């Protein structure tokens, strides 16, 4: 068992790769009442073209299969729904699908092993019939229609469409009414057998556990499966340039919503370099338009914004972009001011004091994530699928200086890579 320790947060992660290929990560939190378990597969909405291990032909499936599969996993052959079973145990259970992974989880203070029995049982025993697949199409169809009227989702998705020509990140995770109509039980079983092999999965447990003991409990509940070979994932080529600078849609909203997107290129060979770049971009976004920035104060005083926009850098192995999301009665003016501030920062350079202050704030945010079992487990799972150990963020932040930040500002914050998505009444 590999043990990685971080002295800054006084935490250890115990990592074991089992014979069947499953990676198990245990982060013990002595004396903490809550326990959290998450079991994820490195399979999300990006994967619609792939070569199954042992096959030569490319398999193409409709958009929305990963999310459809996540929905169907709870239904059991005996007529029960595992989500209901878990809820009856008094645990908070859920599942979610992202662009690059799907995860099944629960959090509890009591009945942990009973909940573990149920979760590990349903994730390993899919049950699809023609009837239950058809029924699910109606349920997911309603979800798709609901998202169509959801301004927060549309403004995000439109930003993706403005940035990306072919990359699957521009496709809705749930698919469309048309694409899900083509899903059948054969497609679901094929995707399950390909992507839900233990060698493509990771389990993270966080709570008051003894690593060796909880590992034995996991092994006891695993069915006998052999690891599969590598899944060849096929993605379309994506040009570096954006599709168009501005995209606008009308929906019922009390105030216009906007997303400013900056398309980035994936060229970090080293995982440590990717972590360092992520941290630098977080710092830059906060320096430019974070709550303590001059631009935020100016926009707030001019009543162009009323709260700090959300700032994030999203990336997987096939895409990367910055997102500034908020509400304004004049998104175009916010966008113009943002571009001017970026230009000014490039010309004048970054103030050392501002840099130190933001660096401390970002570092504090990462430290804080280690207070909650849910935050820890979800973070370790998502980072693991990116090939990153979450502790790397606490180490790499020390390597960042003003010169590095100014280089990233120049490389990433390019005006020709910026887009504006607006949803207004």
Which residues are known to be catalytic? 70
Write the CA distances from 9 to 204, 302, 328, 383, 393, integer angstroms: 18, 41, 38, 17, 12
Task: Please name which of 221, 2, 268 lies closest in space to residue 118, comparing C-alpha atoms.
Answer: 221
241's tokens = 């340039």
DSSP 226-259: PPP---EE------SS-S-SEEEEE---SS-EEE
Q: Is 112 exposed, middle or buried (0-12, 13-18, 19+ CB in 10 A)?
A: buried
Q: How far apart are CA 192 and CA 129, in angstroms?
A: 14
Task: Please name which of 358, 350, 359 lies closest in space to residue 400, comparing C-alpha atoms.
Answer: 359
Which residues make beta-bridge pairs with 2? 15
Write the CA distances from 282 to 172, 358, 400, integer angstroms: 25, 9, 12
Cβ(170)–Cβ(238) below 8 Å: no
Q: Is 412 exposed, middle or buried (0-12, 13-18, 19+ CB in 10 A)?
A: buried
Q: How far apart are CA 417 and CA 241, in angstroms?
A: 6
Q: How far apart are CA 386 and CA 401, in angstroms?
A: 24
Cβ(193)–Cβ(200) below 8 Å: no
Cβ(376)–Cβ(206) below 8 Å: yes
Cβ(3)–Cβ(389) below 8 Å: no
Q: Is 146 exposed, middle or buried (0-12, 13-18, 19+ CB in 10 A)?
A: exposed
Which H or E run contains 211?
Answer: helix 211-220
């Amino acid at each position: 068992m590999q043990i990685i320790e971080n002295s800054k947060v006084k935490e250890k992660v115990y990592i074991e790769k089992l014979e069947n290929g499953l990676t198990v990560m245990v982060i013990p939190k002595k004396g903490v009442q809550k326990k959290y378990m998450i079991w994820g597969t490195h399979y999300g909405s990006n994967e619609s073209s792939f070569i199954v291990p042992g096959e030569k032909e490319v398999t193409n499936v409709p958009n929305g299969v990963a999310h459809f599969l996540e929905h169907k996993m709870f239904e059991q052959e005996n007529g029960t729904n595992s989500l209901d079973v878990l809820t009856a145990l008094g645990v908070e259970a859920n599942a979610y699908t992202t662009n690059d992974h799907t995860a099944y989880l629960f959090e509890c203070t009591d009945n942990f092993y009973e909940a573990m029995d149920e979760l590990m049982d349903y994730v390993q025993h899919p049950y699809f019939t023609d009837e239950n697949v058809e029924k699910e199409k109606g349920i997911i169809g309603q979800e798709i229609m609901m998202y169509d009227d959801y301004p927060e989702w549309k403004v995000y998705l439109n930003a993706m469409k403005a940035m990306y020509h072919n990359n699957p990140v521009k496709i809705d995770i749930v698919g469309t009414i048309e694409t899900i109509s083509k899903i059948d039980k054969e497609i679901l079983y094929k995707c399950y057998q390909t992507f839900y092999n233990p060698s493509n999965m990771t389990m993270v447990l966080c709570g008051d556990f003894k690593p060796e003991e909880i590992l034995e409990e996991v092994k006891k509940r695993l069915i006998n499966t052999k690891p599969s070979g590598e899944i060849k994932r096929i993605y379309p080529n994506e040009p570096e340039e954006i599709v168009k600078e501005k995209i606008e849609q009308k929906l019922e909203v009390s105030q216009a919503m906007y997303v400013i997107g900056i398309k980035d290129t994936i060229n970090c060979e080293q995982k440590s370099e990717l972590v360092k770049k992520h941290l630098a971009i977080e710092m830059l976004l906060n320096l430019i338009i974070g709550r303590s920035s001059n631009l935020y104060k100016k926009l707030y005083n001019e009543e162009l914004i009323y709260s700090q926009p959300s700032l994030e850098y999203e990336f997987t192995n096939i895409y990367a972009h910055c997102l500034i999301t908020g509400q304004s009665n004049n998104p175009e003016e916010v966008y113009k001011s943002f571009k001017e501030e970026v230009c000014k920062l490039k010309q004048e350079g970054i103030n050392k004091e501002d840099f130190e202050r933001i660096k401390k704030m970002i570092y504090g945010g990462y430290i804080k994530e280690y207070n909650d079992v849910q935050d820890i487990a979800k973070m370790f799972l998502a980072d693991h699928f990116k090939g990153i150990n979450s502790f790397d963020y606490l180490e790499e932040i020390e390597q960042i200086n003003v010169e590095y930040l100014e280089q990233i500002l120049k490389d990433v914050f390019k005006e020709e890579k910026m887009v504006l998505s607006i949803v207004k009444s």
